[in-house]
Structure 1
């Protein structure tokens, strides 16, 4: 007959699986950081102001591009560019562009640019999304840069670190016997949910192994 030493308690199995998944993801992110360093050495990491004639050659030759269309008299365009300058330095393998609408009338018409500022997202030369004005950022001038990063993640450009994982897997106070069973069940449920989310994230990342390239 099997004894208790032949089995692991449920929480222990979940902890081991979560640790394994997190380790795979850390290795993946390490690889992407190395790719970013190479891109930085090759001249990436800056928000480039380009001419209309440069647009299509750049966009069609890069995997990921964010292009901002601006007018020099619009203050919100300057605010957006402050954020994009920070993001370009943080994600050098992504190409960040800006274009003066007065100097690119063909693109303004072609891409149906009507409201400024506007950001367009491209993958392999195809426009996959856009942000018009600051509506997605709470329509406030002082929005945090992380809101743009969340949009970038939705577009598949980056993978944000999941700080929520730490909170979800943090030890709970089980000093009360009355609440102990309930807390244990809640912790297991939270970890199981987190494992599922991280599995899906890993699958997405490995399906698109050059996510930053």
Structure 2
């Protein structure tokens, strides 16, 4: 019977600790509710104004991105265009492609979807036959290659499909994850 008494005592101690923890949580919640109850009209108005200002700023940023060609996946015609496009946007994904390369068409499909989803990034494509100097400078040898740029500088490359599972059937989400790894899109 002595063993049973220590179990009862242990249960009682545990129960008391649970009650104390519950009281602490309850007191904390009561304190937070009291703070919310004490928020005056002026503070609510201030919070509302801050939220509206943040929404206006986000909308303004979105309009600025759209005016710079974000939100669509488009072809640029020359190396000169490449430098101009990269200069005016913080984040750029550029697909270096060739018309005769089947895998480039697979990337095109995924990039068109991501361009609409990630307005913070400009999505471009450039035919390697129109950009020999740039391909040499960026050391692009495998087609397709994605150059991932931030602030006008190449940060990373996605060369072929190696980083995408080494398959033609990779998902848009896989490519999105890979671009997010290089912080060229806002990926969650």
- Counterparts of 1:160-199 in structure 2 under 5 Å? 160-161=187-188
Q: How many residues align?
A: 143
Q: Give structure 1 stretches of 5+ with no counterpart.
A: 14-26, 162-213
d(CA) in 1 for partners of 2:131, 2:64:
27
The residue aligned with 1:48 is 74
TM-score, normalised by the number of residues in structure 2: 0.66
d(CA) in 2 for partners of 1:95, 1:158:
9
d(CA) in 2 for partners of 1:52, 1:37:
27
- Counterparts of 1:147-166 in structure 2 under 5 Å? 147-161=174-188
Q: Give structure 2 stretches of 5+ with no counterpart.
A: 1-18, 30-50
TM-superposition CA deviations, 1:120-160 (whole Å, max 9, x none)? 10000011000100011111111101111111221123343
Q: Pairwise CA RMSD of aligned residues? A: 2.8
Quick one: structure 1 residues 115 and 154, their matched pair in 2 at CA, closer, same or farther if it must change by over 3 Å? Answer: same
What is the CA distance between 1:61 and its match in structure 2?
2.1
Quick one: structure 1 residues 36 and 113, their matched pair in 2 at CA, closer, same or farther if it must change by over 3 Å? Answer: same
TM-score, normalised by the number of residues in structure 1: 0.59
d(CA) in 2 for partners of 1:111, 1:64:
17
Verify the 8 A CA contact 1:35 1:93 in the aligned structure 2: no
Quick one: structure 1 residues 34 and 156, their matched pair in 2 at CA, closer, same or farther if it must change by over 3 Å? Answer: farther
Verify the 8 A CA contact 2:147 2:158 in the aligned structure 1: yes
d(CA) in 1 for partners of 2:150, 2:106:
25
d(CA) in 2 for partners of 1:155, 1:119:
12
The residue aligned with 2:63 is 38
- Counterparts of 1:37-116 in structure 2 under 5 Å? 37-39=62-64, 41-42=66-67, 43-50=69-76, 51-116=78-143
Q: For the pair shown, which has the larger CA radius of gyration, 1 or 2?
A: 2
What is the CA distance between 1:95 and its match in structure 2?
0.6
